Amino acid sequence: INISVFPPSNACIGRYILNMQITSCGHTYQRCLGDFYVLFNPWCADDPVYMDNQAHREEYVLNEHGILYEGVYKHITCRPWHFGQFEDGILDICLKILDMGASYHHGSDRDHCWRNDPVHVSMVVNHMISSHTTNSIMKIPENNDYLKGTKPFSWNGSVPILQQWYSGRCRPVRYGYCGSLASVMCTVMRCLGIPSRVVTNFCFPCSIENPLGINEIFDCTGKNLCGKDKLWRYHCWNESWMARRDLNQCCGDWQCLDPTPLETGRGSACSGPTWVRSIREGELDLDYDGHHMFSRVNSNYVGWLSQNNAKKTKFFCDPWPCAQRLITKSVGSEQFEDITGAYKYELGSMKNKEAYYRAYRRIHPGYCNASNCHIDRELSALKNPFLSDSGINMRLKMANCPMYGEDVQLHWLLENLRSENKNLKFNLCAQIITYSGCPMDQFWKDSVNVTLGPREVKNIPLCVSYSQYGPYLCDHNIIKVVAVSDPECGEVLMVSRDIVINRPPVIVKLLSQPRLKVPCTAEISFCNPLQEDMKNCVMTLEGCGLFKEPMTIDLGTLASNQQARTVVEFTPYRLGSHRLLANLGCHKF
């Protein structure tokens, strides 16, 4: 007897058991024929996750290799990531996640009725990544303290994280950051059949008090002070493709899901799903957490100078808008795709203004009947005056692309826009900034007097040596350099630049042609570029279809300019396109 099972498009996803009942001579026998899994099907036109483009299905469902984009919007860095949604045991772990998070929205999961709706499934997964009180998949370290766990930036892929959570009785894995959280969610969603991708937002505001405003406070030396608001240099979240029946959508579209718990003024929580198009249009009443997602791509920057008497004044600056750039991996390519236009219209355009007015009235009910001109006046009163209004233009331009061990070289460009002399005193400083906008150590300070003749342009070279920043950098590879004029000279002018210090490369070279179930060798090489020893060096290797579990190699201490080479052997156990990832950790990073 041949038996065919044809699950309808509205079937609940999960593991099913197929039983056969035989009745003979008044006796009934039960026999289990086996089990099978039902998933969402983006190839089926009747499925709410249907995606009609084959190249997009291959990228957002079948591709196990991804890229995480980090850094700052003027210097975007990338690193590969293994999603590994087809690795052995991952599907069972993903279904376990649904079991553990079932009570989040539904109290009881006896009928599993919600498991045919990708909206509710995505909400449960989103909550389980890091917001569940006891059984979330991953924790974010508090106060950047991760001594009792794994360094957040040392992970290469989702599989070890999910396996550690599952084998550890569903206790949170320590530790992760927004990129690993979004990537793990992407793995779970792709495994369940929901097309998904990781998005990076550069200049991401996190404000508690004013949803559409982000405040940064500096002292007279240019030091960034720790306030309630944080301007993240970048933030990663997840997008998933589905038709929202709750919004009467007949076709699929991208929905934004942010698994990182962020402070909202009512406690920390994850966000979504939010229809990306509703964010662009300012239609905040349509969706879950629409006002949070809108503010994260449309907030206004306000910079303040705090003086000794606790008085705060706005300085002259040229601030970049929040959500300066949103990018994701391109389809079938290693390059990134700029998707900023999907989240907001071009800055200053009529459509952009209309969407902002619409959202502003919903976020601030007191302005429900206010005119557009009234809202414009309120916004103008909040913003910093431009540098050109003071008669001076300034910017900091990079002269090199520094790597660990190299000095940071900058050009400080000043231009007098007036037909009169300008005599100014500036305070300069540099400090470490985490990716989440937390100011760390201020390690360099200086002051300089600048005289500019009428219409004069001046180029002042600046140098921050490795000996100055090296002892403070650690895992945080972002430096903020600030030049601020002395308040006693009159108007306060400020210019700043975020600088990414690149990590030295690890080179992977295959020594033989990979074949299925045939041993293969690769050479991993690394050179210590520092003028000092690198201690506690550990190399972690990972590859879907290549290693059943990550391989760790202890390299010990590497002397200055020492070249380390190691040859590893592995046996590919699965056909397909594979990528070998190597990550080096030491006492410096």
State how far Cα 468 lies from the chain centre: 29
Q: Which is nearest to 224 in space by CA: 412, 502, 496?
A: 496
Catalytic member of 94, 170, 178, 544 = 178
Q: Tell me, yes or no, if 251 is annotated catalytic.
A: no
Write the DSSP assignment of 39-65 as a string of letters. Answer: ---TT-TTSTT----HHHHIIIII--E
**CA separation for the pair 409, 462 (Å, rounded):** 6
Backbone φ and ψ for 487, nearest 5 degrees, come out as -60, -25
**CA separation for the pair 229, 263 (Å, rounded):** 10
Residue 101 tokens read as 């998070």
Catalytic member of 65, 82, 235, 476 = 235
Three-state DSSP at 573 gives coil
Backbone φ and ψ for 196, nearest 5 degrees, come out as -150, 160
Q: Tell me, yes or no, if 106 is annotated catalytic.
A: no
Three-state DSSP at 544 gives coil
**CA separation for the pair 440, 223 (Å, rounded):** 10
Task: Rounding to the nearest 10 degrees, give the CA dihedral for residues 461, 465, 468, 471.
Answer: 140
State how far Cα 80 lies from the chain centre: 13
Catalytic member of 47, 117, 258, 289 = 258
The answer to whether the bond into 8 is cis (omega within 30° of 0) is no
Other C-beta atoms closer than 10 Å to the C-beta of 160 total 19
CA angle 94, 166, 187 (to 5 degrees): 35
- Per-residue three-class SS string for 451-496: EECCCCEEEEEEEECHHHHHHHHCCCCEEEEEEEECHHHCCCEEEE
Q: Tell me, yes or no, if 226 is annotated catalytic.
A: no
Q: Which helix (H) or strand (E) holds 128?
A: helix 118-130
Task: Rounding to the nearest 10 degrees, give the CA dihedral for residues 192, 195, 201, 207.
Answer: -50
Active site residues: 178, 235, 258
